């Protein structure tokens, strides 16, 4: 604080709490501080430790000067007690004991410095006070950095752990409960990517403030990292006591937020774990609440879910799947099979589609239905997808070297792969390494993958087409393509979903939809490929409608390169009517493609 003294210039005013039972020593310290001209000290003098502790409710001194030897306290007990009552205030010991061991113990107990009576003057005392204040300020800043999140100023995991330990101890003594909430913002990555990290950071600050305003002062709100927060509610024993707080938080975070001129609609998924039912420490409670939160998120946005034992079993299954998939990627357990595509006008084999399988050591050969979602969830899809691209290009090049007629290779690209910033580089790398001309590679993407951000998708598709690679929309008719964007996208082919193909023989809508897709493709100048052709009747219907290409069990199952190579050799140079068909009934674990 600054204050004018005797009409002179402003001086820094420091409040000093002097804890000294010897009146002569106290008077001496007063005189020493009065001689300092650069600062003005306002001194409050007490003679006992108890008086100092009682004064803590009224005083907020800038520094404490205290003797170790008081009527009601001796040695480092004095330091410890003063630190407890004044945790943020620097403490300087002024003692008659000229003992290095005692001074070291005092500093270790929390004092900023140790002075010996009879060996100090005013300038020295002033300098020690100034340094003590600075050291304490630095110490508190380091504590803050270690215990608080720098962006939101909320407690971090370290401080959260300390507070939860204390909360659980209190709950155990009182026989009450504690609720631990894990909150995860919905769509935050999308907001961050679209509006930028600066807007994203400001949104996190706003979210932190709204959560803090939705709970009681005694409750703890912490940031766990990223867009994930935790709330600890003490004194609650039943779910119904937690519900009003959860609803306030969810409602608060559902309100539109305006940041930097952008109106942002956000929501939050919440998982709740209860002490002692769902865990006995922070790690167990956070793990349970996290599982519940993911369950809530999978059910929709802006929802909450209490932990249930079944979630633990599900989590164990997920962990086992993740471990197995990582092992599969490391040990080469994934395989590619290939299914031919035939031109319906000439009967020529114009391409093959590469399809991934997993040779699981215990379950046998698995189709993508059993593991693609896991690859995406555990962040493995880009790694495995790059292997698929490389392996498929290498295989089609081998077939080209066998003097077969040139064929294309179709490779599926997932939504996560399509968002990979290295996708173009990976495509070019695979073509360069395998020496495959780009026109023989066709990437297959789903409608939903392209329509999540049509503008960005269109730009990336044009980059892919510049490389010379073909592009097809897979499972066409099951998504929600806009005809405008369909016209603008640089596409080469549409693939009719197998469900429409396999229903053309019945009198439902499959036939008209397939017919419409064929007509749409023709009008846009695109090839139309029918997936899952299994019967001659389906084939004849598609041929009559003008469909260009077909693949399915009518011709061949997806086969390994070793098994498919003889088939290709047999059927490369014959007319369509003589192509060897393999009308095998569909197994439960396979699709028609």
Q: Is 272 helix (H, G, I), strand (E, B) or coil?
A: strand
The reported pLDDT for the residue numbered 585 is: 36
**pLDDT at residue 39, rounded to an integer:** 64
- H or E, element range at 589: none
CA angle 368, 369, 370 (to 5 degrees): 90
Judgement on whether residues 512 and 490 belong to the same structural domain of the protein: yes
| Residue 585 falls inside a structural domain | no
* Percent of the chain with pLDDT strictly greater than 70: 91
Q: Kindly tell me if the per-residue pLDDT of 588 is higher than 50.
A: no
Question: Mean pLDDT in the chain?
Answer: 87
Domain count, the chain: 3
Residues 440 and 562 in one domain: yes
Mean predicted confidence (pLDDT) in 68-78: 93
Say how far apart CA 416 and CA 423 lie, in whole Å.
10
Say yes or no: 352 and 431 in one domain. yes
Q: Which two tokens stand for residue 482?
A: 């806009």
The rounded distance, in Å, linking the Cα atoms of 553 and 591 is 10
DSSP 8-class letter at 524: H
Q: Both tokens of residue 498?
A: 């197998």
Please compute the mean of the pLDDT values over residues 101-124 and round it to a whole number.
91
The pLDDT-based confidence of 294 (bands split at 50, 70, 90) is confident
Does one domain contain both 101 and 201?
Answer: no
- The CATH number covering residue 59 comes to 3.40.50.2300
- Residue 238, C-beta contacts closer than 8 angstroms, at least 6 positions apart: 177
pLDDT at 497 over 90: no
Give the domain CATH number at 281.
Answer: 3.30.70.270
Annotate 470-492 with three-state secondary structure. EEEEEEECCCCCCHHHHHHCCCC
Whole-structure pTM value? 0.56
Pair (65, 131) in one structural domain: yes
Residue with the larger pLDDT of the pair 580 and 30: 30
Is it true that the peptide bond before 429 is cis, omega within 30 degrees of 0?
A: no
337: three-class secondary structure by DSSP: strand
User: Which residues form the domain of 109?
Assistant: 2-147
- Give CA–CA dist 11/580, Å, rounded: 101
Statement: residue 313 has pLDDT above 80: no
pLDDT tens digits, 415-430: 889 988 899 999 999 9
At residue 456, the pLDDT reads 86
**CA–CA separation, 407 vs 357, rounded Å?**
22
| CB of 348 closer than 8 Å to CB of 549 | no
- Report the sign of the C-alpha dihedral through residues 47, 49, 50, 56, in that order: positive
Domain finish residue from 308, 342, 362: 308
Helical spans, DSSP H, in 332-453: 372-377, 381-401, 415-418, 423-434, 447-451
Residue 320 resides in a domain: no
Q: Which residues contact 86 (CB under 8 A, 6 or more apart)?
A: 17, 56, 61, 64
Sign of torsion, CA 306 312 317 321? Answer: positive
Residue 358 placed within a domain: yes
d(CA 565, CA 559) in angstroms, rounded, equals 9
Note the pLDDT tens digit of each residue in 515-549. 888 998 888 899 999 999 999 999 998 999 999 99
Long-range Cβ contacts of 346-350 (<8 Å, 24+ apart): 346/575, 346/576, 347/574, 347/575, 347/576, 347/577, 347/578, 347/579, 348/405, 348/572, 349/404, 349/405, 349/407, 349/568, 349/571, 349/572, 350/407, 350/408, 350/549
What is the β-pairing status of strands 527-530 and 549-550? parallel
Q: What integer pLDDT is reported at residue 551 of this predicted model?
A: 95
Q: Looking at residue 220, what is its pLDDT?
A: 95
Residue 2 has pLDDT above 60, yes or no: no
CATH classification of the domain holding 538:
3.20.20.450
Please give the pLDDT value at position 478. Answer: 66
Confidence of residue 37 (pLDDT cuts 50, 70, 90): low
Q: Domain boundary at 95, 128, 147, which?
A: 147
Based on the domain organization, do 30 and 79 belong to the same domain? yes
The Cα-based distances of 405 to 179, 340, 348, 562, 593 in angstroms read 68, 13, 9, 18, 22
Strand partners, 4: 10
- Give 524: exposed, middle or buried? Use CB within 10 Å, 0-12, 13-18, 19+: middle
Residue 584 lies inside a defined structural domain of this protein: no
pLDDT range class, residue 7, cuts 50, 70, 90? very low
Specify the higher pLDDT residue, 586 or 328: 328
Q: pLDDT tier at 560 (50, 70, 90 boundaries)?
A: very high
Same domain, 402 and 426: yes
Are 208 and 347 within one domain?
Answer: no
Domain boundary pick from 147, 167, 185: 147
Question: 155 burial class (0-12, 13-18, 19+ CB within 10 angstroms)?
Answer: buried
- Taking alpha carbons only, the member of 308, 269, 53 closest to residue 182 is 269
Residue 169: both structure tokens together: 């101890």
Which DSSP string do the residues of 42-109 spell out, in sequence order?
Answer: EEEEESSHHHHHHHTTT---SEEEE-S-BTTB-THHHHHHHHHHSTTS-EEEEES---HHHHHHHHHH
CB 356, CB 334: distance < 8 Å: yes
Has residue 252 been placed in a domain? Answer: yes
Indicate whether 383 belongs to any domain.
yes
Instruction: Tell me the C-alpha distance between 374 and 523, whole Å.
Output: 39
| Percent of the chain residues past pLDDT 90, beyond the cut | 60
Mean pLDDT of 556-581: 75
Domain annotation covers residue 324: no
Same-domain pairing of 141 and 170: no
* Stronger pLDDT, 398 or 315, i.e. the higher one: 398
Q: What's the pLDDT at 404?
A: 85
Residue 484: the pLDDT is 67
**74 and 195 in one domain?**
no
In-domain check, residue 213: yes
Please indicate, yes or no, whether residues 51 and 72 belong to a single structural domain of this protein.
yes
Q: Which two tokens stand for residue 276?
A: 């002692």
Cα 132 from Cα 182, distance rounded (Å): 40
- The answer to whether residues 299 and 380 belong to one domain is no
């Amino acid at each position: 604080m600054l204050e004018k003294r005797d009409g002179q210039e402003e001086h820094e005013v420091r409040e000093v709490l002097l804890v000294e039972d010897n009146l002569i020593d106290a008077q001496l310290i007063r005189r020493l501080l009065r001689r300092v001209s650069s600062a003005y000290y306002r001194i409050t003098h007490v003679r006992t430790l108890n008086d100092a502790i009682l004064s803590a409710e009224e005083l907020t001194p800038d520094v404490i000067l205290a003797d170790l030897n008081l009527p009601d306290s001796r040695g480092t007990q004095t330091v410890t007690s003063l630190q407890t009552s004044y945790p943020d205030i620097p403490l300087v010991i002024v003692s008659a004991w000229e003992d290095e061991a005692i001074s070291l113990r005092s500093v270790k107990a929390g004092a900023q410095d140790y002075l010996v009576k009879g060996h100090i003057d005013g300038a020295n005392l002033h300098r020690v006070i100034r340094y003590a204040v600075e050291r304490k300020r630095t110490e508190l800043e380091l504590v803050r950095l270690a215990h608080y999140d720098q962006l939101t100023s909320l407690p971090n995991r370290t401080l959260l752990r300390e507070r939860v330990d204390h909360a659980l101890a209190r709950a155990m003594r009182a026989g009450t409960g504690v609720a631990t909430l894990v909150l995860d913002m919905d769509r935050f990555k999308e907001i961050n990517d679209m509006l930028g990290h600066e807007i994203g950071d400001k949104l996190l600050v706003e979210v932190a403030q709204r959560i803090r305003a939705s709970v009681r002062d005694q409750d703890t709100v912490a940031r766990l990292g990223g867009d994930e927060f935790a709330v600890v509610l003490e004194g609650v024993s039943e779910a119904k006591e937690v519900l009003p707080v959860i609803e306030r938080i969810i409602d608060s975070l559902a309100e539109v937020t305006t940041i930097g001129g952008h109106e942002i609609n956000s929501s939050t998924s919440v998982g709740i774990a209860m002490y002692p039912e769902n865990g006995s420490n922070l790690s167990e409670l956070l793990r349970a609440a996290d599982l519940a939160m993911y369950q809530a998120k999978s059910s929709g946005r802006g929802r909450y879910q209490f932990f249930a034992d079944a979630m633990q079993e599900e989590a164990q299954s997920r962990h086992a799947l993740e471990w197995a998939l990582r092992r599969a990627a490391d040990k080469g357990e994934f395989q590619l099979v290939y299914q031919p595509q035939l031109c319906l006008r000439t009967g020529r084999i114009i391409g093959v589609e590469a399809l991934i399988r997993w040779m699981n050591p215990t379950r046998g050969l698995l189709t993508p239905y059993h593991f693609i979602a896991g690859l995406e969830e555990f962040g493995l899809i880009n790694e495995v997808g790059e292997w698929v691209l490389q392996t498929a290009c290498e295989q089609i090049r081998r077939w080209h070297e066998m003097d077969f007629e040139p064929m294309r290779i179709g490779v599926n690209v997932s939504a996560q792969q399509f968002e990979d910033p290295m996708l173009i580089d990976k495509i070019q790398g695979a073509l360069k390494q395998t020496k495959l001309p780009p026109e023989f590679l066709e990437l297959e993407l789903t409608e939903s993958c392209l329509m999540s951000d049509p503008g960005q998708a269109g730009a990336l598709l044009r980059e892919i087409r510049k490389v010379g690679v073909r592009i097809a929309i897979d499972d066409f008719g099951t998504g929600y393509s806009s005809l405008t964007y369909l016209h603008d996208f640089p596409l080469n082919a549409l693939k009719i979903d197998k469900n429409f193909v396999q229903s053309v023989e019945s009198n439902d809508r499959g036939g008209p939809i397939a017919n419409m897709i064929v007509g749409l493709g023709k009008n846009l100048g695109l090839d139309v490929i029918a997936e899952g052709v299994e019967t001659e009747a389906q084939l004849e219907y598609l041929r009559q409608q003008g469909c260009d290409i077909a693949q399915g069990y009518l011709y061949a199952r997806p086969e390994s390169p070793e098994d498919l190579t003889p088939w290709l050799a047999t059927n490369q140079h014959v007319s369509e009517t003589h192509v060897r068909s393999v009308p095998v009934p569909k197994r439960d674990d396979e699709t028609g493609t």
